[in-house]
Chain A
Amino acid sequence: MKIIVCVKQVPDTSGKVAVNPDGTLNRASMATITNPDDLNAVEAALTLKEQTGAEVIVVSMGPPPAEGMLRELLARGCDRAVLVSGREFGGSDTYATSQILAAAINQIGVEKEDVVFCGRQAIDGDTAQVGPQIAEKLGLPQVSYAAEIVKDGDTLTIKRMLEDGYMTIKVKTPCLITCIKELNTPRYMSVGGVFEAYSKPYTVLDYNALKDDPLIDKTTIGLSGSPTNILTSFTPPLKGAGMMLEGADRATCEKLAGIMAAKHMI
């Protein structure tokens, strides 16, 4: 059994946010971290590994320095890492990214018992689109927002956390699951893991390695293959303080109704 975990290196938003003159993020000047939800996905994979002895493979698309992040995940206990990296992939939006990652996962191979884990969403784009799009492109059943995962044979029982409640569903492997922070607490790297991290298998897949996959086409990858165009990015103005009305009397209720009517809410 293999568990493939898709991870992304993102800017550390707890530090300073740097923006280029054209409005895009200046990633080079910002400290980076592993996307937090992806750490929950890695933890889910490592937990399953402990139960099943599965091999855990972390996959990321990004520039060469993303190796540091992948080595840290190897130090947490993942078995091997694959970095998908090439100039042709630069500027990809979620559509193109999922296209490329799906091709990389095809290359690794998804078999009957395998599971693909993703974090729910990355803290830089916040789209939550890449995981589900990968599943679509690989033709895998997908379960998003996993807050609990129980494996029994080839069936995973997953408790999804939705805005208005929980939904429990069963899915057969192979499948793709997106994970949320409520799922688990990511473990630390271990000292022994750190000293093994640079001797574990590490592969770089570039454009040439993936170009024969039907998903890879110059028109569907990179900036030119990305249907999304970012016109501008900006820091939204702070919301003003809310208004509190207290009391259950008629006058307060009428005041509330008046405010809501003025805002066309009723």
Chain B
Amino acid sequence: MDFHLTKEQEMVRKMYREFAENEVKPLAQEIDEEERFPQETVEKMAKLGMMGIYFPKEYGGAGGDVLSYVMCVEELAKVCGTTAVIVSAHTSLCCAPIFEHGTEEQKKKYLPDLLSGRKIGAFGLTEPGAGTDASGQQTMAVKNENGDYVLNGTKCFITNGTVADTFVIFAMTDKSQGNHGISAFIVERSFPGFSVGKHEKKMGIRGSSTCDLIFEDCVVPKENLLGKEGKGFKIAMMTLDGGRIGIAAQALGLGEGAIIEAIKYTKERVQFKRRLSQFQNTQFQLADMHTRMQAAQYLVYAAAMKKQNHEPYSMDAAMAKLFAAESASDVTRRAVQLFGGYGYTREYPVERMMRDAKITEIYEGTSEVQRMVISSNLGVK
């Protein structure tokens, strides 16, 4: 596989780096401590086309490619895991399913606002009783006399939930059909009967909004059915395949960011009259850390390129997320260890990176789910 970046990809990465360094990094600690959604950063990213990177210009996208999107999430995560997941959830979990499964009318209605970042998107699949077992949906969508759908139920752990205007929501239209009874809907925040519930207090990515969504006789017009009735579970799984590349990129960036910080610190910190970087333990640790993240990068980029080329990428995305997430957790933990006591304080960013990294092993399919996807692709049953 050719991992050489095109001139445009090189250039756009440079732009992400400058933006991340100047606009995102200075806020990272503050939004973590205050658990504050960085609205000002989202507005800046919107102006620069970062909320619709790989979608065609005709719908308001920036006309880029999937790898350019992945690099955006990666570069943001190097300095701020929160900002990275805002872009990833918006792009992969809301813009992508509407673009890939929406009717022309739905695309024209919703994508221009989403891709330009005027509105933020979110995705609602998880429920209190339907996490990894996403088929256990309790949210019901019942047709009324007009043919519109009336939704009742609760979604939980919804990234971007409190700030989003547009949601891709899954609900049971026919419980007797199991997975084949799940349908997908485009729900606007303003629909009567829709409300946002409690905000989660999290271990990491604390600036990102995570909350419950509550549907109480929420009427969703029939034209907002996304895809065909009963095809929702398939749409959800396809969406998560793409989402996993975004989360894998977030994990990749977190690990790489921790390495950058650890190299800087160990070249300055002196103990036993030597810089930490002069100790072989430091050198070997950093060599291992870099090797893991480099391997993760190849997996993540390969999955992105396959998606871009419309090749099957489900297993590639699962492998990328599994390996990048577990590597990010390992590498950020080791970075804290290299910093010693200072690494455990909030004076340095590595403890935040370690907290942020853990979620990448959990959301959009736990590492165990990724192993299920990979082994089933191998025919191991």
Q: Which residues of A contact B (CB under 8 A)?
A: 68, 71-72, 75, 188-198
Contact = CB atoms under 8 A, between A and B. Distances in A.
A188 B11 contact: no
9 contacts: A71-B11, A188-B15, A188-B18, A190-B62, A191-B49, A191-B64, A195-B62, A196-B63, A198-B7
A47 to B, nearest CB: 14
A197 B6 CA distance: 12
Contacts of B72: 191
B57 interface: yes
Interface in B265-297: none
A184 B304 CA distance: 37
Contacts of A188: 15, 18-19, 48
A128 to B, nearest CB: 26
The 5 closest A-B pairs by CB, nearest first: A191-B49, A191-B62, A192-B62, A189-B15, A194-B12
Contacts of A197: 8, 11
Contacts, number: 54
Interface in B47-72: 47-50, 53, 57, 62-64, 68, 72
A47 B63 CA distance: 24
Contacts of A190: 15, 47-49, 62
B7 A195 contact: no
Given A191-B62, A195-B62, A197-B11, 9 more contacts: A189-B48, A190-B15, A191-B63, A192-B64, A194-B15, A195-B8, A195-B12, A195-B63, A198-B8
Contacts of B47: 190
Contacts of A72: 11, 14
Categorize the interface residue count of chain B. 10 to 19
A72 B63 CA distance: 17
A193 B53 CA distance: 11
Interface in B162-214: none
A195 B64 contact: yes
Contacts of B18: 188
Contacts of A68: 7
A67 B19 CA distance: 22
A197 B7 CA distance: 10
A188 B8 CA distance: 15
A75 B15 contact: yes
A191 B7 contact: no
B12 A192 contact: no
B15 A191 contact: yes
A188 B15 CA distance: 7
Interface string B9-38: 001101100110000000000000000000
Contacts of A194: 8, 11-12, 15, 64
A196 B53 CA distance: 13
A58 to B, nearest CB: 15
Nearest to B22: A188
A68 B10 CA distance: 11
Contacts of B68: 191, 195
A43 to B, nearest CB: 14
A198 B10 CA distance: 12
B19 A191 contact: no
A91 B335 CA distance: 49
A42 to B, nearest CB: 15
Nearest to B6: A198
B9 to A, nearest CB: 9
